[in-house]
Amino acid sequence: MYADYLDGLNDAQREAVLATDGPCLVVAGAGSGKTRVLTYRVARLLEQGVKPWCILALTFTNKAAKEMRERVASVVGKPANRLWMGTFHSIFARILRREAELLGFSPNFTIYDTTDSRTLVRQIVKELGLDPKVYKDNTVHSRISMAKNNLVTHTAYASNHDVLVDDTKQRMGEIYKIYMLYAQRCQQSSAMDFDDLLLYTNILFRDHPEALARYQQQFSHILVDEFQDTNYAQYLIVKRLGELHRNVCVVGDDAQSIYSFRGAEIQNILNFQTDYPGCKIVKLERNYRSTQTIVNAANSIIAKNERQIKKVAFSEGDQGERIRLMGAYTEQEEAFMVAADIYDTNLREHCRYADIAILYRTNAQSRAFEETLRKRNIPYRIFGGQSFYQRKEVKDMLAYLRLAVNPNDDEALRRVINYPTRGIGDTTVGHLQELANRANQSLWHTIEDLRVQPAEAIKPTAVKKLLGFAELLEAHRHNAQTADAFDTASNIARSSGVLQELRSDSSVEGLSRLQNVEELLNSVKQYVEQRREQGDLDEPITLPEYLANVALLTDMDQDDTADDDRVSVMTVHSSKGLEFDYVYLVGLEEGLFPSPMSSGSTTQLEEERRLFYVAVTRAAKRLSISFAHSRMQWGEMQHHSPSRFLGDIDPQYIEADARMAQGLRSDRSSRPQPAPGRPLRSLAPRTHESAPATKRPAPSTRGNALSPNQVRPNMNVIHERFGPGRVLSVEGEGPNAIALVDFGPTGQKKLVLQYAHLHSANQ
């Protein structure tokens, strides 16, 4: 028996926790304690004697999964580790690896990210001789993606009359050919894209009833979080798996359905009652997060929406202050006002920066805030946008790691076959590709064939170089399966020549590229150590395992160490599931929010409205909404009026700032720079001095940086970023050397590639 966890729950929450038998729909409004309910529900199941590995809990983000696991663990302890809990993509990738042979895939299949998919599309368009301006990789890929989300395979697509007619109408009648070739290439490369993970799971369950039966039996209880975001492929997986035991519990909020662009069907949650006859419905309507003002204002936003489940969200908290509305002349000024206000709030109300968020509609809006926050020395963290794993140098390194595990991965191979340059040019690769296409096999395979059977298209000198590259890959293949992931990775970094290449570039960007690769290798280290702590000690954590994991990581998942106190800056989309005491919702202008792309249909506009709802309900204590009267777009100054959405909020909840009350005058909008003069002073009484002390301690040595030859095992060193440490080992020589350094009490061992950051700590 676990502690009296039911005590703190309200009636509806308790009902949702206890209804463990049969299908159940929990409509959980924003801030209604959803995670708590899910956590206790899992605890309840375990208490009833359900084995942890019989519980399948699906989420949409790794972060949500991780948080839930931690919270379950805090109630039930160790058994939480055995739960099948994760994102749809990661759970089914795991199952697919296990069952890969049934589908004709290797268990080590690669997962293509969106960039890989798009370059593959581009490549195919080129090969087919189609016009890349008509067949834009983005458009084509999203078309393929949509098809897969609706379980339309490439063969089904090519023989579906309606689809073909539709494509022809859009002047892209050849998409089916691209899709066919795309699917074939993925299979050849032993790769799946994001959508394949769901598609192939469905195919597995459709074509292999015995496999389906195994998992149906295993998963006696299924929970799905954010059910309003499921697409058809996900919906059907859940339905199939749940058919045997019928213990399917879905949790969601139709009012927060904001992902239709990636195939999410709000209908899935609206129709749940009819899909699962006799299901229990519980509505969590009390909001524990926000003030009454915020909750009421949020309700007024979506009140007009047609398609929704009736519910009344309410708060019993404080009335709270009114929503602040701030108008600015330019986006720079908007950023200035927000930053000034953040500084002020932090000072006056002693809040943490981590309790503050800036939310916007599009990633492109981040720049102005980034600059202003930096100028003011306010620590911040930008989520989304160009993620760490998308950077060129990181992708290059990952490509090498991927190749060591799956040499058939053509995308990875083409990426690094001539990086660093080894004299294999476009013409050679072109010929190679042709050979591969003709034989319907991967590039690597084709290279291997050259060993025994030379082809006339490729000159002997080129063949030699290709074989040299193949040998480089071959050298790591065996290790990759058996040796420690970190060891393999750092070996590859060295022998591939990537390190040398990066170190030869001493520009600022070059240095940061090296740093990123260093960071990546350290993340391998960290992963290995982390897994070793929780798992079986005997077996080494290998590269395939790491890669399987990293492919599905996003920027949101980067370890947020509790002690770093920064303002969060992100899109409204990525803020879902989070909460902050103080929220600045910015750029509330017509032409920006709602997005002009969405003004076509009412359903799209309803979704924009729900997005607005999501943004507002992130705030617990105070919400500030702002807009700029003009902003730069396409190099031109665009004039905007305040968003129509502002009119949806009942005016009684809004308090406009002084300048709003005066009314905005467009005649002043040509002023290029914000003048930190009178009007702003009320918001930011002290704008002149520099920000609070968040400076990192100065390097404790003024000595010269070490050179590779000076670094030896057991030596004490000081790293500019990580502080004092002790060198454990040095591998390689000269410019290729890598040092493994132990940085003290946290037991963090890191790989140091940049000796410029390392100082001697002797004496």
Partner DNA sequence: ACGAGGGGGGTTTTT
Partner DNA sequence: CCCCCCTCGT
Closest distance of CB 360 from DNA, Å: 9
Helices (H), 496-634: 498-503, 508-534, 543-550, 602-616
Q: Does 634 bind DNA (CB under 7 A)?
A: yes
Per CB under 7 A, the segment of 95-103, 361-369, 470-478, 492-500 that binds DNA is: 361-369
Per CB under 7 A, the segment of 93-101, 595-603, 710-718, 721-729 that binds DNA is: 595-603
For DNA, the closer of residues 187 and 365 by Cβ is 365
Task: Note if 148 is an active site residue.
Answer: no
Footprint (CB under 7 A) of DNA, residues 471-500: none
For DNA, the closer of residues 267 and 604 by Cβ is 604
Helices (H), 645-731: 658-662, 678-681
Closest distance of CB 187 from DNA, Å: 20
Catalytic residue among 618, 622, 631, 749: 618
Q: Could you give the CA distance from residue 568 to residue 353 in angstroms, rounded to a whole number?
A: 8
Which of 207, 261, 464, 694 binds DNA (CB under 7 A)? It is 261
Q: Could you give the CA distance from residue 298 to residue 313 in angstroms, rounded to a whole number?
A: 9
Closest distance of CB 554 from DNA, Å: 4
Q: Beta strands 567-571 and 380-382: pairing type?
A: parallel
Dihedral sign (CA 657, 658, 664, 667): negative
Q: Does 641 bind DNA (CB under 7 A)?
A: no
Catalytic residue among 225, 393, 411, 484: 225
Q: Does 549 bind DNA (CB under 7 A)?
A: no
Task: Note if 226 is an active site residue.
Answer: yes
Per CB under 7 A, the segment of 218-226, 282-290, 629-637, 727-735 that binds DNA is: 629-637
Catalytic residue among 15, 34, 293, 402: 34
The structure tokens listed for 320 are: 């709270």
Q: Does 595 bind DNA (CB under 7 A)?
A: yes
Taking CA 637 as the corner, what is the angle to CA 635 and CA 639, rounded to the nearest 5 degrees?
145
Per CB under 7 A, the segment of 272-280, 362-370, 658-666, 718-726 that binds DNA is: 362-370
For DNA, the closer of residues 591 and 724 by Cβ is 591
Task: Note if 35 is an active site residue.
Answer: yes
Per CB under 7 A, the segment of 21-29, 103-111, 525-533, 552-560 that binds DNA is: 552-560
Contact 157, 179 (CB under 8 A): yes
Question: 3-class secondary structure for 435-502?
Answer: HHHHHCCCHHHHHHHHHHCCCCCCCHHHHHHHHHHHHHHHHHHHHHHHCCHHHHHHHHHHHCCHHHHH
Footprint (CB under 7 A) of DNA, residues 414-433: 418, 421, 423-428
Binding to DNA by CB under 7 A, coded x per residue (else -) over 376-395, reads --------x-----------
| Phi-psi region at 377: left, alpha or beta (left = phi > 0; alpha = psi -120 to 50) | left
Closest distance of CB 624 from DNA, Å: 21
Q: Does 630 bind DNA (CB under 7 A)?
A: no
CA dihedral 597, 599, 600, 601 (to 10 degrees): 120
Asked if the bond preceding 699 is cis, omega within 30° of 0, the reply is no
CA distances from 117 to 81, 121, 175, 231 (A): 33, 6, 15, 20
Maximum CA extent, the chain: 82
Q: Does 262 bind DNA (CB under 7 A)?
A: yes
Which of 32, 247, 574, 617 binds DNA (CB under 7 A)? It is 574
Binding to DNA by CB under 7 A, coded x per residue (else -) over 84-123, reads ---xxx------------------------x---------
Task: Note if 710 is an active site residue.
Answer: no
Q: Does 571 bind DNA (CB under 7 A)?
A: yes
Q: Beta strands 636-639 and 619-633: pairing type?
A: antiparallel
Which of 363, 495, 500, 687 binds DNA (CB under 7 A)? It is 363
Which of 213, 364, 439, 728 binds DNA (CB under 7 A)? It is 364
Helices (H), 350-442: 366-375, 392-405, 410-416, 426-439
Residue 711 DSSP one-character state: -
Crossing angle of helices 460-482/443-452, nearest 10°? 120
Dihedral sign (CA 473, 474, 476, 481): positive
Q: b vs e for 233-254, b when ≥16 Cβ sit within 10 Å of the residue's Cβ?
A: bbbbbbebbbeebebbbbbbbb
Which of 51, 94, 136, 445 binds DNA (CB under 7 A)? It is 136
Footprint (CB under 7 A) of DNA, residues 600-619: 604
Per CB under 7 A, the segment of 58-66, 305-313, 521-529, 534-542 that binds DNA is: 58-66
Which of 130, 463, 467, 556 binds DNA (CB under 7 A)? It is 556
Which of 165, 439, 632, 675 binds DNA (CB under 7 A)? It is 632
Q: Decide: helix, strand or coil at residue 105.
A: coil
Q: Decide: helix, strand or coil at residue 368.
A: helix
For DNA, the closer of residues 150 and 220 by Cβ is 150
The amino acid present at 381, given as its one-letter code, is: R
- State CA 101 to chain mean position distance: 29
Q: Does 245 bind DNA (CB under 7 A)?
A: no
For DNA, the closer of residues 364 and 658 by Cβ is 364
Closest distance of CB 664 from DNA, Å: 23
Q: Could you give the CA distance from residue 762 to residue 151 in angstroms, rounded to a whole number?
A: 64
Backbone angles phi, psi at 106, to 5 degrees: -80, 145
- Positions annotated as catalytic residues are 34-35, 225-226, 256, 618
The site for DNA (CB under 7 A) is made up of 60-62, 87-89, 114, 132-133, 136, 138, 194, 258-259, 261-262, 361-364, 384, 418, 421, 423-428, 552, 554-556, 570-571, 573-574, 595, 597-598, 604, 632-635
